[in-house]
Amino acid sequence: MSSTSATLTSATSVDADLLAAALTTDLANPGDLESLLARFLIPIVALAGAQAGAVRVLTDDGHSMRLVAQQGLPADVLASEQLVDSNCGMCGLAVSKDVIGWVDDVASCAARHTQVYFGAQCRGVLAISLPYGHQVLGIYNLFFDAQAHVDATMETLLRLIGQLLGQALHNAKIERERLRTTVMKERQEMVNEVHDALAQTLAYARMRLPLLSDAILAHDDQKSLKYFSDVKSAVSEVHDNLREVMTYFRTRMDPMGLLHALQGLADGFFNRTGIELELKNLAPKLDLTDQQEVQVFHIVQETLANIAKYSMARHAVVTIDKSPQGLEFLIEDDGLGMDEPSVSTIVTMARELVPSTHLGLEIMQSRARRLGGTLEVGGNDGSGTLVRLVLPLGSALAKGST
């Protein structure tokens, strides 16, 4: 290292203002945080008259400090100080409270090294906290080859830089959490799309396989051919839908709209399930966007799939109407209904009422919330089950679908 004087003279107001302004500007669009920190260590080290600098952040467990950026550290120091104890000397004090302090005796630092610390040229280390609010997120160090003095102006500047770097660390943490939430949401949406595209058709194929087996064993060629054709059509549909999901991460919506898609479900429902399905549209104009139609279609589709699998019904009705509460979709059947009255509830309580493994109901709940609506699942008058989806009209609906 050079033998330049380590006396910390007062930085000119121009240098301080330029450095703080540049750092503030970069914080607005930091990009790669570690590159930002390393880049700003260069003028900080030069302004302070130091020989090297480093930025360390607390690990998630708070037990250690991780080296995230550095300028001028010798190779052996760089290798051995990637992770240091958060209770280590003045650095530990600086990370526990918002302070600026000197390490005048570097013997404790040198104890972690097989060679002489900094080649015996380091005589002092300055530790400055990186605070955000009432929390300290890390520290930055400046390394000097001689004893140094910090005047009030320089101390103010170094503290200001510490606050700005602390803000950068906080912003980076928030961005990581936002990204993680976004990724989890996208993964859940992909699960929803795969479930909606494949689950009902695969369940239908599985229901047909025992019938196909029985028909083959009974040498009933007519039924065997019918059930074989049903399974073949289902497998073909699954294949097409899977390719659609893989390509667009969503299932295809009928280009002629929601009503046409629901009518298509109704037309083929009896042949697939043995249940008569009636579609009643009492709302002359739905006023739904394409994305809203997709969400509603999948909710109705999942409800009908549950009717086919569990209800033992002979007849089902899908009714679309408008009420003071909003646009309503009522799906009811004359099947077995629900054993326990407590199951009749708004779907926001679904986790308490049905097993958590009931993925279909959870997805229906998620889609209803995305639309800003409510979903009620309960008993029908007399017998059977009633599912009621209510969507707010006008601007509220548009806002809920975003």
Could you write out the DSSP letters of every residue in 269-331?
Answer: HHHHHS-EEEEEE--S-----HHHHHHHHHHHHHHHHHIIIII--SEEEEEEEEETTEEEEEE
| Burial category of 204 from C-beta neighbours within 10 Å (exposed 0-12, middle 13-18, buried 19 and up) | buried
Q: What average pLDDT does the chain have? A: 77
Q: What is the pLDDT of residues 345-377, one digit of tens each?
A: 333 333 333 333 355 677 788 888 888 899 998
280-330 confidence digits (pLDDT tens): 999 878 888 888 888 898 899 888 888 888 888 899 999 999 988 899 999
Domains 13-179 and 254-402 share a fold: no
How many beta carbons lie within 10 A of that of residue 89, not counting itself? 18
Which is higher by pLDDT, 67 or 37?
A: 67
- Is the pLDDT score of 61 beyond 60? yes
Please choose, from the candidates 365, 307, 299, 374, the residue with its C-alpha nearest in 3D space to the C-alpha of residue 336: 307
Average pLDDT estimate for 33-54 = 83
Residue 110 has pLDDT above 60, yes or no: yes
Q: Please report, for the chain, the start and end positions of each structural domain, with discontinuous segments joined by +.
A: 13-179, 254-402
The hierarchical CATH code for the domain 254-402 is: 3.30.565.10
Does domain 13-179 fall under CATH 3.30.450.40? My reply is: yes
State the number of CA atoms in the 13 A half-sphere of 16 facing the CB. Answer: 14
At 145-178, the pLDDT tens digits run 776 676 778 888 888 888 888 888 888 888 778 7
pLDDT band at 255 (very low <50, low <70, confident <90, very high): confident
Q: CB under 8 Å to 274, separation ≥6 — which residues?
A: none
> Is pLDDT above 70 for 245?
no
Enter the pTM of the model: 0.45
| Rg of the chain over all Cα atoms, to the nearest angstrom | 33
- pLDDT score recorded for residue 300: 92
| Structure confidence at residue 374 (pLDDT) | 92
**Count of C-beta atoms within a 10 Å radius of residue 311:** 20
| Residue 347 DSSP class | G
Q: Of 43-47, 120-124, 136-140, 154-158, which has the strongest mean pLDDT? A: 136-140
d(CA 68, CA 347): 47
Determine the Cα–Cα distance for residues 13 and 171; give it in Å rounded to an integer: 27
How far apart CA 211 and CA 401 sit, in angstroms, is 42
Res 280: pLDDT:
94
Distance separating alpha carbons of residues 199 and 340, to the nearest angstrom: 26
Report CA-CA distances (Å) from 343 to 11, 252, 309, 365, 379.
71, 33, 18, 15, 8
User: Which of 354 and 133 is assigned the larger pLDDT?
Assistant: 133
